[in-house]
Structure formats: C-alpha cells, structure tokens
C-alpha cells in the first residue's frame, strides 16, 4: 500500500483525503498536516516531520510559499512529492530534480485544471515553436492576487471582459500564485516558463474558469479549451483536485492510459 500524506486541507486537500478514505486501490492515507488543528476535519493530524516519516508520498495542497518551505525536506527523506501549487517549482525545478535523483524519489505534477499535457509532452520530442495560453476567470476568482493589489485594480468596477495581465509563465506565477498554476504545469511539460506566454482576463458574469491553449511545432498545431466549474474556492476548478485523484489512482493501476 502506498501511504499518502497531505499538506493543506483546503478544497483540494480535503477532496483528495475524501477520495483516499472512500477507496483508491493500493493507496492509504498516512495523515494530514495543517497549521490550524481545527481544520483537520477529523483526519489524523501530524506534525510535518511525522507526516514525512510515515508517508511514501506527500501531496502538497497548500500554497507556493509552503511548498518552498517543506519540499526539500520531503525529497531529502527519499519520499515522493506531488505538487499542486506548481508555480512554486519555477526557479527551483532543476535543483529539486537533482535532489530527487540523489535520494531516489520523484516529483509528480498532475495536469490540474487543464488538458492536453500528454500532447505537449509528445510534441516536445520534436520541435515546438510556440506555446500560448489564455485564462478567463470571474473577477472574484482573481481577488487578492499580488498583481491585483500592487496595481490597484478595482475588479468590482469591471463591466466587460478585460485583459488584466500578459507575460511569461514565470511572471504570471509571481503575479497570481493561487490562480495560474496551470500555466506552470504547461511550461514544465513543454518549452519552459520563459518561452510560455499567458494572457489573464477578468470576465464579469463568467460562470466557468476557462483556459485556452495553443501549441505549434513540427508536429502541427494543438488547440485545447477547457471550461471548468469552480469549486467552493473560486480560484480553484474542480478538475484541479479530480486530476490529482486520478494520478493517485494511476499509481496503483494495472493499466495506465495516456502519456
């Protein structure tokens, strides 16, 4: 049995814990770690050190900042690390990859709220010339992001679709650490964070978080559009935690479909 520990019990962590408890073949819950014990929600709460010790795989379902703090400890202990706040890997990816190689463990990144990463990985084996992404969210889904606060953008005053940000994946993940982890995953599957570009739009009245991806290369052209139903947290689509659950299910599956 693969013993899984979860750090963070927001929407993503809670739903992953529920799925493991309900039953995923070959997977059992080792425990959870939260800063506030009141948020343990009845699951066995452990200190971070104890969680790492008792787990074979630690799921980060917290924040980019939290990931940066405990990620190296997980890998140094030889434990696999599943990352949901994928933007936190940018800038440390190569160092953490070497650390994982040294200690015989893996860093796992679910597809999250987008689709098509299998196609992007296939295209990467040839030459990719361009990767672009457009993300559209209701204004409340962007509220509180560092970029919004820094620029003093009044999201409530928007009356129509508005381009809020345009830049590289690296810049976007600093500007919107809780909103655009999808572009970090896209960049790691493809041509890297500096060559992957994104536009972020705020759209009043939009019911679903929408992501449109375009990849061009010697293979041809790949176009993907996903319209995600938001979870209880407007920043997070339901597909984010569903893809993590699917990855856990794949780890114990006899047959695996897709790259």
Q: Which residues, other chains included, contact 15 with Cβ-Cβ below 8 Å and sequence gap of 6+? A: 231, 241, 242, 245
How far out from the chain centre does Cα 71 lie? Answer: 14
Nearest to 85 by CA among 69, 64, 65: 64
Instruction: Report, as residue numbers or ranges, the catalytic residues.
Output: 211
Neighbours of 219 (CB within 10 A): 15
φ, ψ (nearest 5 deg) of residue 134: -125, 130
Strand pairing partners for 199?
A: 134, 166
d(CA 17, CA 28): 9
Partners of 227 in the β-ladder: 210
The number of C-alpha atoms within 13 Å of 158 and in the hemisphere containing its C-beta is: 23
Q: Render the burial of 36-68: b for 16+ CB within 10 Å, e for the rest.
A: eeeebeebebbebeebbeebbbbbbbbbbebbe
Chain mean position to CA 241: 9
What phi, psi does 2 have (nearest 5°)?
A: -85, 120
């Amino acid at each position: 049995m693969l013993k899984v520990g979860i750090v963070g019990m927001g929407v993503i962590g809670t739903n992953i814990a529920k799925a493991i408890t309900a039953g995923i073949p070959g997977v059992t819950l080792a425990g959870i770690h939260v800063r506030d014990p009141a948020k343990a929600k009845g699951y066995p709460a452990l200190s971070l050190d104890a969680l790492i010790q008792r787990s074979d795989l630690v799921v980060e379902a917290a924040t980019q900042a939290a990931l940066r703090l405990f990620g190296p400890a997980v890998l140094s202990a030889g434990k696999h690390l599943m990352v949901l706040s994928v933007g936190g890997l940018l800038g440390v990816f190569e160092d953490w990859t070497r650390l994982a190689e040294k200690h015989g463990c893996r860093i796992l990144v679910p597809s999250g709220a987008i689709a098509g990463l299998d196609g992007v990985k296939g295209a990467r084996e040839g030459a990719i010339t361009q990767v672009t992404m457009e993300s559209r969210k209701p204004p409340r889904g962007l509220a509180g992001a560092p970029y919004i606060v820094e620029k003093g953008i009044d999201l409530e005053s928007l009356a129509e679709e508005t381009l809020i940000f345009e830049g590289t994946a690296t810049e976007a993940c600093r500007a919107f650490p809780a909103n655009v982890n999808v572009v970090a995953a896209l960049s790691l599957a493809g041509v890297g964070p500096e060559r992957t570009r994104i536009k972020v739009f705020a759209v009043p009245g939009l019911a679903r978080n929408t992501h449109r991806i375009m990849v061009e290369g010697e293979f041809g052209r790949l176009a993907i559009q996903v319209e995600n139903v938001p979870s209880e947290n407007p920043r997070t689509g339901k597909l984010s935690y569903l893809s993590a659950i699917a990855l856990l299910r794949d780890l114990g599956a006899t047959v695996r479909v897709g790259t």
